[in-house]
Structure 1
């Protein structure tokens, strides 16, 4: 039987001392603290209390309907949200889940929610997504998940160097997009049989403080993991995430060239040259990975014509490089803290994906007349 939900209207503000009344007998309740949130589990319900803010990978309100909880949270919390390990299903949870936001000394009640997705490791909750029963209004969302000002350092001044100094453009983009580690980890010595092109040397230097520049979706191999391609005089330096293809550079004298050709290799098929040499390829790889691994996304449904892509990217600047990825024909468009790419899916048909470092950056995209399957703005 589902427990009776107390008659508390969403957006009601009440004193913190009254918040636990949602869960029933306090003497029989348990309190748990995780990153950015407090949970109170009682006989009549569970209260998830998060902080005002907008920090990726920290518990809080993510969108008008989505609330995210990040662990580790102990086994009792996992069982309360997802059920027991032998019945690991949110539908098995009967008592209501309440969500509230702490505003200084007060609590702002947002309503009840249901678990949409959860993950555990050895019974410990690692993350959980909850959907509010009633979506928040825009004004209430801005109140509990305020969006910060744009990052002035994220301006796309690096675009000016794409046609003159691509190494400088790449470094400026990557150092603005990825924060450095406090201390560079020790890396094992590399033993390359071929001279290393300057472009890769520069990327490996940046990766010492910013490991993510080597990729999150696909990856540039660490220098010590480069290997010979089975087809001949090429060195594999990049891999697709499922192993469907690799990227390789010519070995020997050609490989030492300042800006060698990049070869796209699929199993036993004949290698195909990327349209841009290594200097342009590394910038395209960086843009693609930034969009894919960004904290905030905008993903429209369906495909677009070239004219519709132009309308969608009206407020952005196209990166002046030839298309990336043979067969996909990917073009890139950028704005401050935002990368969007359009891949060719057929005759005048394009798929679009946008990733942003800051939520505010998604304001550059049109929100009307576009059917977004996901929009994190």
Structure 2
């Protein structure tokens, strides 16, 4: 139901009263506005039909009302955290269990022989990652990416093997490399193109696990995105999760990972307060991604302000 249109008011700017029917009756959710809508002209029809509509609420929605109109039904097949026990004793197993648990397998596309590089050119840790990604290509990254084995790029001096890059090309990761190949579990170097390289705190085995966790969260269908956090808020948002026992990822903003079944949260330390006048010491950014909205339940009661919460 829409309010009458006042003179000079565009119809799209009017509030929409939101009501949901449940078995017990009607639940009023307040007012909102149309953020995005799509229509479709179906065969044999003369008018477009509304196919989807995203509404933005104008007032906070009580959790009790949300639970009534959209009950939180658990998904029974969330992946386990068995991989977490292997992080510090068998990272190859940890990586395999995480990647195969998070991403469903797809048919493997055969690689033309001409595109297949010699196996000894790459460290074993990277070859394992490529093997996993053949049936789970999204593991290669959705925000940033690990380069395909067929790329085999080197840095401008030809001394480093470039293994991954930022989505806009602003930085890349590399490992020491010679014609004989790379050493076992080498140091990973982060480099912005106009800055000196900085060593990642974890070697390649830990880096690939961190990269996988980061990309899993970034590419997830269900997200929880808070505003910038203070140190106290960062502690409270992770209280119900398990920390991944690795040193911080990414020198640009040291990032730690926290997990629950079907959920990955990463928190990045962005340094001192940005001086925006708020005076609250906010310096941490956070991003949580989940395979199902029920997996976000451990974050539902966190005392933070969300810009998006799909749980």
Question: With structure 2 as the length reference, what TM-score do the two structures score?
Answer: 0.77
Question: In the alignment, what sits opposite 2:265?
Answer: 340
Question: In the alignment, what sits opposite 2:99?
Answer: 174
Q: Does 1:223 align with 2:149?
A: yes
Question: In the alignment, what sits opposite 1:185?
Answer: 109
Please give the per-residue CA displacement for 1:234-287, whole angstroms capped at 9, x wherever unaligned. Answer: 111201011110111221278432211111121142221111111000000001
Moved more, 146-155 or 361-370: 146-155
| Cα shift at 1:334 | 0.9
Q: Go from structure 1 to structure 2 and tell me whether the alpha carbon gap of 1:137 and 1:370 turns closer, same or farther (over 3 Å shift).
A: closer
Matched length? 287
Q: Go from structure 1 to structure 2 and tell me whether the alpha carbon gap of 1:4 and 1:186 turns closer, same or farther (over 3 Å shift).
A: farther
| Cα shift at 1:134 | 7.7
1:318 to 231, 235, 243: 243
Task: Name the CA distance, whole Å, in 1 between partners of 2:304 and 2:58.
Answer: 25
1:330 to 235, 255, 260: 255
Question: In the alignment, what sits opposite 2:45?
Answer: none
Q: Go from structure 1 to structure 2 and tell me whether the alpha carbon gap of 1:166 and 1:108 turns closer, same or farther (over 3 Å shift).
A: same
Question: In the alignment, what sits opposite 2:275?
Answer: none
Q: Secondary structure at the match of 1:374?
A: strand
Q: Does 1:243 align with 2:169?
A: yes
Moved more, 212-221 or 328-337: 328-337
Compute the RMSD of aligned alpha carbons: 3.6
Aligned counterparts, 1:206-355, within 5 A: 206-252=132-178, 255-305=181-231, 307-347=232-272, 349-355=283-289
| Cα shift at 1:220 | 0.6
Q: Secondary structure at the match of 2:216?
A: helix
Question: In the alignment, what sits opposite 1:165?
Answer: 90
Higher relative contact order (CA 8 A, sep 6+): 2
Please give the per-residue CA displacement for 1:212-233, whole angstroms capped at 9, x wherever unaligned. Answer: 0000000111111231211331
Judge conservation of contact 2:144–2:165 (CA < 8 Å) in 1. yes
Judge conservation of contact 1:254–1:260 (CA < 8 Å) in 2. no
Question: With structure 1 as the length reference, what TM-score do the two structures score?
Answer: 0.65
Task: Name the CA distance, whole Å, in 2 between partners of 1:227 and 1:350.
Answer: 34
Aligned counterparts, 1:89-128, within 5 A: 114-117=33-36
Question: In the alignment, what sits opposite 1:370?
Answer: 304
Question: In the alignment, what sits opposite 1:30?
Answer: none
Q: Any unmatched runs of 5+ in structure 1? A: 6-90
Task: Name the CA distance, whole Å, in 2 between partners of 1:93 and 1:246.
Answer: 44
Q: Any unmatched runs of 5+ in structure 2? A: 40-49, 273-280
Judge conservation of contact 1:151–1:337 (CA < 8 Å) in 2. no
